[in-house]
A and B are shown apart, each in its own frame.
Chain A
Amino acid sequence: MRLPCSCCGPRDSGEFVYRGDATLRRPPPDAPETHWADYVYLRDNPAGPHRELWYHQPCRSWLVITRDTRSHAILAAEAAEAVARAVQAGPEAR
C-alpha cells in the first residue's frame, strides 16, 4: 500500500504509523464524562470510506487520509494540521 504524504508525495505504507479515526473531536474539558469516554473508546469502524490519521515518520507529518477499508483504495489525503485548523474555524470556513 502506498500513501500520499502531503509533504513527501506517495510513500510506502511501511514508513507510516496509523492512529485511527480522524472524525473524532477532542471534547472540551468540561464536557460530560460520557462524551469523553465515547471519544476515547468508541469507534464507528466503518466498512467503506474511512477518514483516518496517519503519521509519516520520516517527515513527522500527520495526515488525514480517506481510505476505503474494504478495498484499501486511497480516496483523499490532507495535512492533518490544515484539517484541524479548518475544524476550529468552524463549518463555514470549510
Chain B
Amino acid sequence: MSSVQYSIFSLLRNAVRDNRGWTPAWRKATPAPRYDVVIIGGGGHGLATAYYLARHYGMRNIAVVERGWLGNGNIGRNTTIIRSNYLLPGNLPFYEKSMMLWEGLEQDINFNAMVSQRGVLNLIHSDAQRNAYARRGNAMRLHGIDAELLDARAVREKLPFLDFDNARFPILGGLLQARGGTVRHDAVAWGYARAADRLGVDIIENCEVTGLRIEGGKISGVETTRGIIAAGKVGMACAGRSSQVAAMAGLRLPIESHVLQAFVSEGLKPFIDCVVTFGAGHFYVSQSDKGGLVFGGDIDGYNSYAQRGNLPLIEDVCEGAMALMPRIGRVRLLRQWGGIMDMSMDGSPIIDRTPVDGLYLNAGWCYGGFKATPASGLCFAHLIARDEPHPVGTAFRLDRFARGAVIDEKGMGAQPNLH
C-alpha cells in the first residue's frame, strides 16, 4: 500500500534525497480469487465507487478491474468542467452533492486535482434563452445552489474580448455559476486510485471482463482475461462500453454510444478566466493552468466506438469559437481526440439495480460524466453497500424510461444524439 503522505514536507524531504523516497501511487494488484465487490471499469466513476465503498461503507475486500490502463476512458478525455447548473429536480441535488464533494476532494484523498472554481458562464443570445436560463437559475437557487443572471454589460466587463459588436447572434447576458470551474482530469483518476489503494482496494489493470457469472438469477463473479474472479456483488461503471458489458448479463440498455470530440490549443498566456459556453452554437471553452484553451462542442452524432471524430464537427466547433472570440483566429488547435459517451435516452444517468441480483449499473452519463464523478461514486457505493438508492440519486432509475418518468433536461425525447 502507498504510504507516503503528500505535502510540502514530503516534497521538501524528497527534494534533498534526489526524489528517491516516492513509492507507487497505487499497487499493481493481481486478482485474488474472490472479492466482496468487484467494480468493472477503472475510470473515474469506478475508482470513486471503490474509494467510497471502502471509506464510507466499511467494505474492504474490493477490486476494480480495468481492461486497459487506469483512467484510459472518459476521465482522461473530457474538457475538465465541473458545475451543478442543472434544471430538473431529479438532477439538481445529485450534481450539487458532486460539487460539494469536489470542494473537499483534495483534503479527502490527499491528492491535488487542482479543483479550480473559476466560474461557468452560459451565454444568452435571445429573450427566450434568457427566460430559459432564468428558469434554470431559479431552480438552482431553490436547491441552494449559487446562480447569477448577468446582463450584457456584466458579461462584457468579465469577458471584454467576446464579439459584442459584430455578432450574428448578439450576446444579451449570461447565467453564471461562480462555484463551477475545472479540475485536472487525470489527477482525479490517480487520486481516487491512490486513496482507494491506501484503503486496501485492489486495482487490477489490463484485466478485461469477458463474461458475467450468473447463477440462479444472482451474480457470482466475473470472467476476465486474467481468470475468473468470484464476487458477492458486481458494479458496472463502463461508460461507453456499458451496453457490451450489460449484454453479458442479457440486458439491453436505454443507451447508445456516441463519440464526443474535444480539443486543446497551444499554450498561451492566460486570458480566459472562466468556463464560457456559447449559446448560439456548439462551443465551450476554458483555459487550463498550462495555458492551453480546452474546448469542445456537440457530439458527432452517430453510434461509434472508434474514439475519433470527423471533420464537419471540428469545423462547426471552430466556427463557434471564432464567432464568439475573433481574437483567437491565429491561435492554433494543437490536438483533438474523441471519447465514447454512453448517451442515454433522456440525457440523464442511471444508477440502479439490474434484474440480476447483486449486479448494479452505473451508466448513461452522456457527455456530463466528469463533473459527476464524486457523487456518482458515492451514490453507486451507497447502492451497492445498502441495496437502496442514495437520497440524492433516487431519480436515476432504470425503469423510469418505460414508466415515462424521464429526466429530460433538453426536451429532446428518446433520441440520444440530441441530448
Assess A/B contact in the complex (Cβ within 8 A). yes
Interface-lining segment among A56-64, A69-77, A86-94: A69-77
Residues of B near A46 (CB, < 8 A) are 243
Q: How large is the interface on A (under 10, 10 to 19, 20 to 34, 35 or more residues)?
A: 20 to 34
Known: A18-B301, A20-B415, A47-B244. A41 touches B306 (CB 8 A): no
When the two chains form their complex, are residues B402 and A69 in contact, meaning their CB atoms are under 8 A apart? no
Are A69 and B310 touching (Cβ within 8 A)? Answer: no
Q: Do B303 and A42 touch (CB < 8 A)?
A: no
Q: Write out the residue numbers on chain B whose beta carbons fall within 8 Å of the beta carbon of A84.
A: none
Provide the bound-state CA to CA distance between A18 and B303, in Å: 9
How many residues belonging to B are interface residues under a CB distance threshold of 8 Å? 27
- Check A14 for interface membership: any CB of B closer than 8 A: yes
* Beta-carbon contacts under 8 Å, A6-20 to B: 12-14, 17-20
In the complex the two chains form, is B417's CB within 8 Å of A12's CB? no
Interface locus among B4-12, B98-106, B249-257, B385-393: B249-257
> Is B312 in contact with chain A by the CB < 8 A criterion?
yes
Complex Cα spacing A1 to B257, Å: 18
Contact A52/B402 with A1-B310, A43-B253 known, Cβ cut-off 8 Å: no
CB-contact partner of A41 in B241, B247, B305, B401, under 8 A: B401
A–B pairs, 10, beta carbons within 8 Å: A12-B312, A37-B402, A38-B252, A42-B252, A43-B252, A45-B253, A47-B244, A47-B305, A67-B302, A70-B306
Q: Is the CB of A72 within 8 A of B306?
A: yes
Q: Is B252 within 8 A of A52, CB to CB?
A: no
Q: Mark B163-192, 1 if CB is under 8 A from A, else 0.
A: 000000000000000000000000000000
Q: Are A20 and B312 in contact (CB under 8 A)?
A: no
What distance in Å separates the Cβ of A2 from its nearest Cβ neighbour in chain B?
10
Enumerate chain A residues within 8 angstroms of B310, measured Cβ to Cβ. 1, 13
Question: Is B312 in contact with A43, judged by CB distance below 8 angstroms?
Answer: no
Given contacts A20-B415, A41-B401, contact A52 B302 (CB under 8 A): yes
Q: Is the CB of B312 within 8 A of A14?
A: yes
Contact A20 B401 (CB under 8 A): no
| Bound-state Cα–Cα, A72 to B305, Å | 9
- B254 in complex: contacting residue of A19, A43, A70, CB < 8 Å: A43
Say yes or no: is A30 at the interface (Cβ < 8 Å to chain B): no
Which residues of the other chain, A, contact B311 by a CB distance below 8 angstroms?
A: 14
CB distance from B351 to the nearest CB of A (A): 17
Could you tell me if B304 and A69 are in contact, using CB atoms closer than 8 angstroms?
yes
A44 and B304 in contact (CB under 8 A), knowing A1-B310, A37-B402? no
Report chain B residues within 8 Å CB of A38: 252
- Residues from chain B with Cβ under 8 Å of A37 in the complex: 401-402
Question: Beyond A69-B304, A70-B306, is A42–B312 a contact (Cβ under 8 Å)?
Answer: no
Against B, the Cβ 8 Å flags (1 = close, 0 = not) of A29-52 are 000011001101111111100101
**Chain B residue at smallest Cβ distance from A14:** B312
CA distance A14 to B301 in the complex (A): 10
Could you say which residues of chain B place their CB within 8 Å of the CB of A14? Answer: 311-312, 315
Determine how close the nearest CB of chain A comes to the CB of B341; give it in whole angstroms.
12
Tell whether, in the assembled complex, residue A40 and residue B302 are in contact, meaning their CB atoms are under 8 Å apart.
Answer: no
Chain A contacts of B369 at CB under 8 A?
none
Question: What residues of A have a CB within 8 angstroms of the CB of B306 in the complex?
Answer: 69-72
Q: Does B345 contact A (CB under 8 A)?
A: yes
Enumerate chain B interface residues (CB-CB to A < 8 A): 241, 243-244, 247, 252-257, 301-306, 310-312, 315, 345, 401-402, 414-417
Q: How far is the CA of A67 from the CA of B303 in the complex (A)?
A: 9
Q: Is the CB of B345 within 8 A of A52?
A: no
Q: Which residue of the partner chain, among A17, A43, A47, A67, contacts B255 with CB atoms under 8 Å?
A: A43
Tell me whether B304 and A42 are in contact (CB under 8 A). no
Q: Other CB < 8 Å A-B pairs besides A19-B415, A21-B256, 12 of them?
A: A13-B310, A14-B312, A20-B256, A20-B415, A20-B416, A37-B401, A42-B253, A44-B252, A45-B243, A45-B303, A67-B302, A72-B304
The residues of A that contact B304 with a CB separation of less than 8 Å are: 69, 72
Contacts of B305 in A (CB 8 A): 47, 69-70
Q: A15: nearest residue on chain B (CB-CB)?
A: B312
Q: Are B312 and A52 in contact (CB under 8 A)?
A: no
Closest Cβ of chain A: how far from B77's Cβ, in Å? 17
Chain B CB count within 10 A is highest, among A13, A33, A67, for: A13
Q: Hey, which chain A residues are within 8 Å of B301, CB to CB?
A: 17-18
Contact of A45 among B255, B315, B402 (CB under 8 A): B255
* A41 in contact with B345 (CB, 8 Å): yes
Which B residues are in CB contact (< 8 Å) with A45?
243-244, 253, 255-257, 303
Q: Which single residue of chain B is at the shortest CB-CB distance from A73?
A: B306
Q: Is the Cβ of B312 less than 8 Å from the Cβ of A40?
A: no
List residues of chain B with CB within 8 A of the CB of A72: 304, 306
A-B CB proximity, top 9 nearest: A14-B312, A45-B243, A37-B402, A41-B401, A41-B254, A42-B252, A18-B302, A47-B305, A1-B310
